[in-house]
Amino acid sequence: MPRAEVNRAAEMEVFVRVVDRGGFSAAARDFRLTPSAVSKLMSRLESRLNARLINRSTRQLRLTPEGHAFYNRAVRVLADLEEAEREAAAGAAPRGHLRVNCNVPFGRHHLLPLIPAFLARYPEVTLDLILSDTVIDLLQERADVAIRVGPLRESRLVARKLGTSRMVVVGSPHYLKRTGMPEMPADLLRHRRIGWTFARLQPGWPFLKGRGTETIQPPSVVNASDGEAARQLALEGVGLARLALFHIGPDIEQGRLMPVLQEFNPGDREDIHAVYLGQGGPLPARARALIDFLGSHIRIADRALRRQRSGRWRLVSDRATG
């Protein structure tokens, strides 16, 4: 069949509906077709691609590896096609649905407070907000935009930097009164660490040692699934945690948490990015609107800690530290 005569968008739409609905009959009802017509269309698609997409049985359908890959691509293509039509019809005004993924600390302390103003500016945009410290696959999870804290590992992603934040080991005053303030990194081996339920690129905590660094991994007393849970555990005096200043800066300023071993802090930072999948096409207006809004409203200074004469720590900008 000549390429021009193949309605590839229609084939993709039917294929995606078959997968989403779990069968030919349900998809056929949605399109007011017969199940045999849908089956023939799927067979024609597989024949044209020279690949089996679905393994059929009397009870269920199972996607082949090729089917999984084609499904993920088809979902994205159909979403882009729908957005292109909407933008053409509405003069590219931001509208439609956005699925946004963000880690818990940044989401609670920086993203969520901005959502009312964003929705007031763009009343035709709706949102799904998923807060999780698990690093997701944007394509698999159908996320339009994600906020990532830390190193970016996916080359497919296009990123816009929103800020950067230093890391610091902290404990509550009553925990440190009970256990004593560590004076050297090695002292941490006698302390209790609040760790993570997920793997980190660096399992231990880095500290300055001579001209280099050393990694110390205190024994873990409890593991948390997200940064906000780790913060709360630290506030309750469970143990020491290593968290970003964008997250715990107010706790330090108000004396709820105290920095530990700052003279050995290597000053490493975690960058914060808004990311999306780069596939060569234009970014949907609704996603561009959100990224631009975050870029203009989020202010995360890379701040350091300085000890006052009183012994308390205060946050200062790098420019102020000289």
Which residues are CB-neighbours of 6 under 8 A, at least 6 positions away?
48
**For 93-131, how does the pLDDT look when each residue is reduced to its tens digit (9 = 90+)?**
788 889 998 988 899 889 999 999 999 999 999 999 989
What pTM does this model have?
0.63
Q: How many CB atoms lie within 10 A of CB 26?
A: 14
Please state the rounded mean pLDDT for residues 177-200.
89
**Helix (H) or strand (E) segment spanning residue 167:** strand 157-171
Is the per-residue pLDDT at 133 higher than 60? yes
* Residues found in the chain: 322
Phi, psi for residue 302 in degrees, rounded to 5: -80, 95
Give the strand pairing for 212-216 and 96-102.
Answer: unpaired
Please state the rounded mean pLDDT for residues 42-69.
86
Q: Which residue has the tokens 């339009």?
A: 144
Is the per-residue pLDDT at 220 higher than 60? yes
Say how far apart CA 297 and CA 300 lie, in whole Å. 10
Q: What is the reported pLDDT for 1? A: 37
E strand residue ranges, 240-318: 241-244, 258-259, 269-277, 303-307, 313-317
